[in-house]
């Protein structure tokens, strides 16, 4: 590992809460890791979208020196202003400056671009690539082959939880790679729980299996809402009937968020469509039926194309309600 960079006055890493005052103190280079706890590291972070920004900021709170890259430079500059760290011009520059590099971009294509494109991370002598994007298992296996070599490791680390959990270090992280990867200090800093699933690409497969279930349940609730409302049942009465059944917890989770267009986006509609499409592709690659994932993906895609691309995924409920009350077809 290269020389660590820590903040003066912090003999050890900051507490879990890591104050903003500590974050803003000037930094000096000292050659050794912090004496107690996990070492402070030079961490690269590629992708400062909704999740990446919060995760990278959390790593700053935990005392790491963070070197960031984002395709749109404004987000990288905003990150430096709000969280500190250093912004560089390319993924390759991140790999030249950091011991370990986390990647959190949107999908397979974005991962290919930041790793393999011109100025890509793999042009650098990076030693360890940790990929948290939700991607297909087949693509994760391809990435493993591209990344791994005698001096370079690949760990897949998709996450459950969203923006606030990322910011507070409360994600659940599924690890695919070597069993000892559950002890990667930066993953522990980001997570309430780090779970070893098995070799690559089992963590990517598990993440899609879980999201397929979560998102298909929401799609089903949205379609049933349209059915009830389309046949003249009042929305709140319908939700009330459901709350008398084992669906209570699911209805309570979505009854405000799903119908309130002002609810801030935590997980965009377009990414829900992507995850379900990837779940369908993973099922098909394993010669398994993909009826529900394919159908649910179409619903989220439809809402995305009709103006809800950047809305929270829960607004599929609102989308289906709007269709049901549009009066286009009287049942
Ligand atoms: N949001 C959640 O609650 C959540 C939870 C768990 C997992 N995830 C997964 O985590 C990943 C990131 O999600 P997010 O919500 O942070 O997405 P997001 O807000 O859309 O951010 C996507 C990031 O990927 C970058 N990107 C997209 N295409 C690119 C390309 N071709 N080349 C280089 N960079 C590219 C974007 O750069 P620009 O800023 O330039 O567009 C941005 O930094 C996704 O795989 C998602 O499924 C999300």
Which structure tokens are listed for 278? 């990837």
3-state SS assignment for residue 268: strand
How many CA atoms are closer than 13 Å to the CA of 213, on its beta-carbon side? 7
Dist. CA 41–CA 30, nearest whole Å: 12
* Tokens of residue 174, six digits: 């599924």
Q: Compute the distance between CA of residue 71 and CA of residue 53 in angstroms, rounded to an integer.
A: 13
> What is the C-alpha to C-alpha distance for residues 141 and 99, in angstroms, rounded to an integer?
23
What is residue 25's predicted lDDT score, i.e. its pLDDT?
32
- Structure tokens belonging to residue 294: 């394919």
pLDDT digit string, tens, across residues 90-110 = 999 999 999 999 999 999 999
pLDDT > 90: percent of the chain: 86
Q: Given this model, what pLDDT does residue 8 score?
A: 26
Model confidence pLDDT, tens digit, residues 53-69: 999 999 999 999 999 99
Residue nearest to atom 28 of ligand 1 (CA): 110
Query: Residue 331 — very low, low, confident or very high, per pLDDT cuts 50/70/90?
Result: low
pLDDT at 10: 31
CA distances from 262 to 163, 256, 266, 278, 318 (A): 17, 10, 12, 28, 11
- 57 is written with which tokens? 């900021």
Query: Cβ atoms within 10 A of the Cβ of 269, count?
Result: 26
Range of the domain at 77: 5-199
Output the six-digit token pair for 75. Answer: 């987000």
Strand, coil or helix: 143: helix
* Mean per-residue pLDDT, 181-198: 98
Residue 158 in domain: yes
22 shares its domain with 56? yes
- Cα of 251 from ligand 1 centre, angstroms: 28
Is 204 within 8 Å of 130 (Cβ atoms)?
A: no
pLDDT, one tens digit per residue, over 125-151 is 999 999 999 999 999 999 999 999 999
Per-residue pLDDT tens over the stretch 264-286 = 999 999 999 999 999 999 999 99
Residues 78 and 226 in one domain: no
Report the DSSP beta bridge partners of residue 194: 173
Calpha distance 139→103 (Å, rounded): 15
Q: What CATH number is given to the structural domain containing 69?
A: 3.40.50.720
Q: pLDDT tens digits for 1-54?
A: 332 222 222 333 444 433 333 333 333 222 233 334 677 899 999 999 999 999
One domain for residues 304 and 186: no
180, 199, 218 - which closes a domain: 199
Please state the rounded mean pLDDT for residues 206-235.
98
Total of domains in the chain: 2
d(CA 20, CA 81): 12
Q: Is any ligand 1 atom within 6 A of the Cβ of residue 55? A: no
CA atoms within a 13 Å half-sphere pointing along the CA-CB vector of 223: 13
The confidence score (pLDDT) of residue 330 equals 63
Q: Probe ligand 1: pick from 51, 78, 113, max atoms within 8 Å of CB?
A: 51
Q: For 209-220, how does the pLDDT look when each residue is reduced to its tens digit (9 = 90+)?
A: 999 999 999 999
Q: Tell me, yes or no, whether 331 lies in a domain.
A: no
pLDDT band at 77 (very low <50, low <70, confident <90, very high): very high
Q: Average of pLDDT values for 227-252?
A: 98
Distance 161 CA to ligand 1 centre (A): 14
Does 195 lie in the same domain as 209?
no
Helix 73-83 and helix 50-61, axial crossing angle in degrees, nearest 10: 30
- Please check whether residue 329 lies inside any domain of the structure: no
Of 70, 22, 63, 14, the residue nearest 43 (C-alpha): 63
- Ligand 1 center–CA 189 separation, angstroms: 20
What average pLDDT does the segment 157-174 reach? Answer: 98
pLDDT value for 30: 27
Give residue 41 CA to ligand 1 midpoint distance, Å. Answer: 24
The predicted pLDDT at position 327 comes to 84
Q: Is 84 in the pocket of ligand 1 (CB under 6 A)?
A: no
Judge if 153 and 217 occupy the same domain.
no
Report yes or no: 54 and 83 within 8 Å, Cβ to Cβ: no
Q: For position 2, what pLDDT does the model report?
A: 30
Name the pairing type of β-strands 171-176 and 159-160. antiparallel
CA-CA distance, 85 to 64, in Å (whole number)? 9
Indicate if 63 and 110 belong to the same structural domain. Answer: yes
Tokens of 50: 């909704």
Q: What pLDDT, on a 0 to 100 scale, did the predictor assign at position 223?
A: 98
SS3 content of the chain, % helix, strand, coil (to 5): 50, 15, 35
Look at residue 69 and tell me if it is in a domain. yes
Domain termination residue (choose one: 199, 233, 260): 199
* CATH number for the domain that contains residue 303: 1.10.1040.10
Boundary-marking domain end, from 164, 199, 234: 199
Closest by CA to 189, choosing from 206, 167, 207, 205, is 167
pTM: 0.90
Does one domain contain both 103 and 46?
yes
Tell me the mean pLDDT in the region 288-315: 98
Q: Which two tokens stand for residue 193?
A: 């729980």
79 token code pair: 């990150």
Cβ(173)–Cβ(193) below 8 Å:
yes
Domain co-membership, 30 together with 175: yes
What is the overall mean pLDDT for the chain?
90
Q: Is 175 in the pocket of ligand 1 (CB under 6 A)?
A: no
Distances (CA, A) of 300 to 52, 64, 71: 23, 38, 26
């Amino acid at each position: 590992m290269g020389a660590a960079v820590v903040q003066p006055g912090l003999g050890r890493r900051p507490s879990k809460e890591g104050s903003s005052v500590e974050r803003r103190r000037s930094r000096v280079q000292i050659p050794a890791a912090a004496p107690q706890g996990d070492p402070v590291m030079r961490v690269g972070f590629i992708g400062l979208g909704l999740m990446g920004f919060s995760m990278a900021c959390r790593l700053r709170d935990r005392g790491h020196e963070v070197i960031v890259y984002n395709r749109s430079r404004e987000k990288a500059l905003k990150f430096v202003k709000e969280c500190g760290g250093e912004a560089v011009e390319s993924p390759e520059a991140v790999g030249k400056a950091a011991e370990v590099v986390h990647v959190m971009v949107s999908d397979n294509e974005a991962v290919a671009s930041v790793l393999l494109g011109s100025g890509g991370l793999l042009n650098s002598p990076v030693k360890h690539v940790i990929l948290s994007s939700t991607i297909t298992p087949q693509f994760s296996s391809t990435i493993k082959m591209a990344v791994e070599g005698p001096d370079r490791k690949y760990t897949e680390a998709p996450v459950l939880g969203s923006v606030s959990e990322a910011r507070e270090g409360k994600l659940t992280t599924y690890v695919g790679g070597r069993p000892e990867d559950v002890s990667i200090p930066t993953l522990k800093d980001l997570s309430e729980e780090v779970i070893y699933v098995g070799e690559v690409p089992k963590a990517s497969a598990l993440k899609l299996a879980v999201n397929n279930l979560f998102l298909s349940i929401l799609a089903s609730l949205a379609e049933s809402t349209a059915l009830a409302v389309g046949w003249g049942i009042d929305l709140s009465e319908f939700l009330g009937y459901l709350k008398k059944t084992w669906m209570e917890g699911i209805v309570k989770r979505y009854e405000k968020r799903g119908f309130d267009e002002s609810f801030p986006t935590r997980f965009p509609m377009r990414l829900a469509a992507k995850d379900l499409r990837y779940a369908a592709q993973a099922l098909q690659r394993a010669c398994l039926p993909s009826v529900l994932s394919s159908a649910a993906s179409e619903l989220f895609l439809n809402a995305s194309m009709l103006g809800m691309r950047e809305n929270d995924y829960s607004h599929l409920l609102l989308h289906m309600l709007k269709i049901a009350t549009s009066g286009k077809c009287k049942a």
